[in-house]
């Protein structure tokens, strides 16, 4: 029998990746520390009790993006923002990071410097130090330029926010337009000439969501990276055992993202974002939280895009602008490879 192989689509945030992760996870019987959130939850990060009863968060992310420099950021800013965002959307205050670089022999020092500067600037802005690191150099041709693996650590000061916390009646909020990152990278890589400039939305969301977390009214939260909005909503629906109903007219999407998606036959709901958070919130606090978000530069296009219901648990349903419905499934694989 021929050996099964790892396929490119298995790295893509969709169902194919779920299979690979399940395959990987199935090898391990230890998956958490005491009652903390462990790898079995497939949440953004892991938590573990300290010896003295406070909860800490640990999360890791490998970054293998192509191109490594793009409009709006580079692999370095992506590595910091991506990992810190995973810490934040668990409801934690980011406290420390580690960074492991894997660099191709012959990589330009000046390019490395640009990447490191972006990382350092973002760490400074967040006031989060990288407290441990590792550097490997691989021979030419054995790694494409550079990969960066960052691990983030945080402390939960209030209560942790899990994917499983959405309740019927909750409102669904996005902190901004979706699909920018994936389409910006694709446009850059393919040399597409867009009428309007489209930048990646790479950014740390901590300053945006900090006060929102403190309201205690956020029931579930996730950053829509691989798998996009669709990936996030499907995680909420299945882990919270609810359905999510999205009003298509209210979902903010930039015209350039719509245009590129139409040309290339992509579903914008499947496209990777960075620097965004999707949350479910208590209905009575939805308007207040929306205003808090809109008052922040990163959240000026925030919108209430839907509602959590009890019926049809596990499903994400799009209510279209012409009054129809469609089921939004998780993408099979990442429609745009190597965007994070």
Angle between helices 255-264 and 180-190 (to 10 degrees): 60
By CB under 8 A, is residue 6 in contact with a second copy? yes
**Among 22, 35, 67, 131, contact with a second copy (rule: CB under 8 A):** 131
Structure tokens at 68: 């490594």
User: Smaller CB distance to a second copy: residue 154 or 177?
Assistant: 154
User: Smaller CB distance to a second copy: residue 39 or 304?
Assistant: 39
Residues 149-208 that bind a second copy (CB under 8 A): 149, 151, 153, 155
Residues 27-66 that bind a second copy (CB under 8 A): 27-33, 36-39, 45-46, 48, 50-54, 56, 58-64, 66
Token pair 């192509």 is at which residue? 66
Binding segment (CB under 8 A) for a second copy, from list 121-129, 172-180, 230-238, 312-320: 121-129
Tell me how far, at minimum, the Cβ of 103 lies from a second copy, in Å. 5
User: Smaller CB distance to a second copy: residue 7 or 310?
Assistant: 7
Tell me how far, at minimum, the Cβ of 276 lies from a second copy, in Å. 19
Token pair 């012409």 is at which residue? 322
Give the pairing of strands 55-63 and 73-74: unpaired
By CB under 8 A, is residue 7 in contact with a second copy? yes
CB 274 within 8 A of CB 61: no
By CB under 8 A, is residue 253 in contact with a second copy? no
State the Cα–Cα distance between residues 46 and 60, nearest whole angstrom: 9
Cβ within 8 Å of residue 3, ≥6 positions away: none
By CB under 8 A, is residue 109 in contact with a second copy? yes
CB 340 within 8 A of CB 82: yes
Tell me how far, at minimum, the Cβ of 179 lies from a second copy, in Å. 20
Burial of 321 (0-12, 13-18, 19+ CB in 10 A): exposed
**Among 15, 71, 96, 199, contact with a second copy (rule: CB under 8 A):** 96
State the Cα–Cα distance between residues 254 and 277, nearest whole angstrom: 17
Tell me how far, at minimum, the Cβ of 300 lies from a second copy, in Å. 29
Q: What is the DSSP secondary structure assignment for residue 279, as one 8-state letter?
A: E
Neighbours of 140 (CB within 10 A): 10
Number of residues that bind a second copy (CB under 8 A): 91
State the Cα–Cα distance between residues 68 and 77, nearest whole angstrom: 10
**Among 108, 195, 196, 323, contact with a second copy (rule: CB under 8 A):** 108
User: Smaller CB distance to a second copy: residue 70 or 153?
Assistant: 153
Residues 10-29 that bind a second copy (CB under 8 A): 10-12, 17, 20-21, 23-25, 27-29
217 to each of 4, 161, 169, 289, 308, how far by Cα in Å? 45, 10, 13, 9, 14
Binding segment (CB under 8 A) for a second copy, from list 119-127, 245-253, 265-273, 283-291: 119-127
User: Smaller CB distance to a second copy: residue 105 or 284?
Assistant: 105
């Amino acid at each position: 029998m021929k050996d099964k192989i790892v396929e490119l689509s298995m790295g893509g945030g969709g169902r194919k990746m779920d299979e690979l992760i399940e395959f990987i996870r199935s090898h391990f019987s230890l998956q958490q520390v005491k009652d903390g959130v462990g790898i079995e939850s497939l949440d953004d990060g892991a938590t573990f009790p300290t010896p003295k009863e406070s909860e800490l968060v640990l999360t890791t992310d490998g970054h293998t993006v192509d191109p490594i420099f793009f409009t709006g950021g580079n692999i370095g800013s992506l590595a910091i923002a991506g990992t810190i965002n995973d810490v934040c959307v668990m409801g934690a205050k980011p406290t420390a990071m580690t960074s492991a670089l894997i660099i191709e022999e012959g990589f330009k020092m000046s390019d490395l410097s640009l990447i490191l500067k972006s990382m350092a600037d973002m760490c400074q802005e967040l006031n989060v130090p990288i407290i441990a690191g590792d550097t490997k150099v691989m021979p030419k041709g054995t790694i494409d330029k550079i990969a960066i693996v960052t691990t983030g650590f945080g402390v939960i000061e209030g209560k942790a926010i899990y994917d499983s916390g959405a309740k019927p009646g909750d409102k669904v909020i996005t902190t901004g337009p979706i699909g920018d990152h994936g389409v910006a990278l694709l446009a850059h890589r393919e040399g597409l000439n867009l009428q309007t400039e489209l930048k990646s939305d790479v950014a740390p969301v901590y300053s945006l969501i900090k006060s929102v977390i403190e309201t205690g009214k956020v029931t579930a939260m996730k950053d829509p990276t691989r798998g996009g909005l669709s990936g996030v909503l499907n995680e909420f629906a299945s882990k919270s055992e609810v359905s999510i109903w999205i009003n298509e007219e209210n979902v903010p999407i930039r015209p350039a993202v719509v245009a590129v998606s139409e040309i290339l036959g992509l579903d914008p709901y499947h496209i990777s974002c960075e620097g965004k958070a999707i949350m479910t919130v208590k209905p009575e606090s939805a308007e207040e939280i929306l205003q808090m978000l809109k008052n922040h530069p990163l959240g000026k296009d925030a919108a209430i895009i839907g509602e959590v219901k009890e019926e049809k648990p596990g499903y994400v349903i799009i209510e279209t602008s012409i009054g129809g419905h469609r089921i939004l499934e998780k993408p099979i694989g990442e429609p745009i490879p190597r965007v994070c």
